Structure 1
Amino acid sequence: MAEYKGSSGDGNRIRMLEKQRENEIKEINKKKEKLKEEKKANVFSIHDKFQSVSDSSSSTSTQFQNVGLVSINDFHNNIKSQNNLNDSKNINNKRQTEKEIKKKSIVNKKLKITQKSKLSFELDDDGDGDGENNENNENNEENNENNEENKNDKENDEDNVNNNNNNKIKYFGKDPSVNTDFLPDIEREELEKLEREKLAKEWLDQQERIKSEEFEITYSFWDGSGHRRSMKCSKGTTIERFLENARKEFKELRGVSVDKLMFIKEDIIIPHNYSFYDLMLSKARGKSGPLFRFDVHEDVRLVNDATVEKEESHAAKMVESSWYERNKHIFPSSRWEYLAEDGFDTQDTDRKYTISDRLAKH
C-alpha cells in the first residue's frame, strides 16, 4: 500500500511544530524546577528551628536561661540582654578608672604645690634638710592617701547633689559700700508701704480726735437786724446739722426746713455739705475776715499800721433764702457771694479784708 508523503510545504510545517513543542516542554520543566526549589526553601529542618545550649559566646547566666529546647528568637534575645549587661558593667568600670585617674592627678598636683611651698634657707645643712623633706613628703603622701580614701565616699554622695545644684541659678549679692537707693528693692518697698500705712492711720486718728473737739460759735438770725446767739458743737459738725439745731432757738424758724436756710460767714455763702473742720483745716479767707474763726473779735489798735492786716472776725449769719432773694440788692446782702466752685480762697493774701459797701480794689 503506498504512503502519502505530501508536498514539501507540509514537511516544513511539521518540523516547525515539532520545534515549538520541544520549546514548550523545556519551559514546563524549568517551571517545575523553580517550584521544587521554592518548596525546599520554605521547609525548615528541626536543627534549623532549635539550637543546642552549648554555645561558646553565651555566658553562664544565659546557659541557665537556655536549658532545654529554646526557640532561636528567644536564644538571640537572651544573648542581646547579656551583652547589654556586659556593656553597662564595662562603662561603670571605665568611669571608676577615670575617677581614680583624676584623683591621682589631683594628689600629684597637691604634692607639687606643697613641695614648691617648702623653701629652705639653710645653706649648710643641705643633706639633713633633704632627708627631712623626703620623710615629710612620704608622710604627706600617706596622709593624702588616707584622706582621699575617706573623701571618695563623700564625693560619690556629693556627685548627685552637685548635679542638682549645677542646674540652679547663682546670684551675686549687692555691694554694701555702694548706694543702691535708686535700685528696686522689694524689702525696702514693703517697709516703706508699712510706714506709710502707719503714718496714714495715725493722721486719720488725729483728725478724728480734732473733729470730736468742741468749740463755741457765735451766730445770729438775720432778718434785717441781728438776733445773736451762741452754741457749742463739735468741729466735725456740718453746716446742715448746725442749721437744724440752731433754727430751734427761734420761733420764726421752727416751721422752716433746713433747705430754705442759708449760712453766711464773712460775706461768703457756704454750702450745707461743708463742715467747720473743713473751714478750720483750709484756713479759708472770706471778704471781711477769716472763715476759720467763729468768735466775735474786733481788732482795736492804738496805732494804725497799714502794713499789718486786721484780724477781725464777725458773727455768722443764718438767713432765710426768701428774705435774701427779696433784699439782695440792699446792704449788707449785696456783698454776699456764693463760694467759688474751686473751693475756698486760701492763697490770695494780697486781697485785703473789707467791710464797706464799696467795691474792693484787687
Structure 2
Amino acid sequence: MANYTGSIADAGRLIHIAKRRERHKEDIEKQKKKIQAENISLINIGEKFKAHYDAVEQQLKSSTVGLVTLDEMKAKQEDVIKEREKQLAHKEKCVLSFDPDEEENEDNSEPLEPPKKKKITKDPTVDTSFLPDKEREEEENRLREQLREEWMKRQEEIKKEPINIAFSYWDGSGHRRDLKMRKGNSIHQFLQKA
C-alpha cells in the first residue's frame, strides 16, 4: 500500500523545522556548558584566595640534600626566609624609572622612600549644583513655604468671590432661578438657599 507523504512544500517545511530543532538543541547545549563552566569557576574560587607559604619550604627542601645537623638546617632556613623577605621587599619597592645613570643595588643600606602622596582637593570649576547643600535646601524650603502661603491666600480670595449660579428644578413644572453665592460655599449651603 502506498502512503501519502505530502507535497514537496511540506517536505521542505519538515526539513526546515528539523534544522531549527537542531539549532535549538545546540543552543541549549552551549548554554548548559556555559553554566557548568561558571559553576566550576565558582567552585574553584576558594583556591584563588588561599595563601601559599610553600615557597620557603620548597626552596629549603631543594637546597638541603642528605643528612644535615640541626644547626645547619636552622641556618639554611633563616637564610631562605631572609632571601624570601628580600624578594618580597624588592617587589614592593620596584618603581619604574627612566634614569639611565641610576644604579640598582639591592644591598643598598638606604631604604627607598615612597613618593609623597598629593593631597586631593576639590576642583572649583566643577558644577556642584546637583549635590545636596544644606543652605540651598533651607532656601528652597523657605521659598516653598512662601509660595504655599501665597497660594493659600489666593485660594481664600477666590473662595470669597461671588458667583452667579443658574439652576432649575422640576416639581411638575419647570422652575428656573438664579442664585448669587460665594465660590467657597458647599453644595449643602447652596441647597439650603435654593
TM-score of the alignment, normalized to the shorter chain, above 0.5: no
Coarse TM-score class (shorter-chain normalised): 0.3 to 0.5
Higher RCO (CA < 8 A, seq sep 6+): 1
Normalised by the length of structure 2, the TM-score is: 0.36
Please identify the structure whose Cα radius of gyration is greater.
Answer: 1
Normalised by the length of structure 1, the TM-score is: 0.20
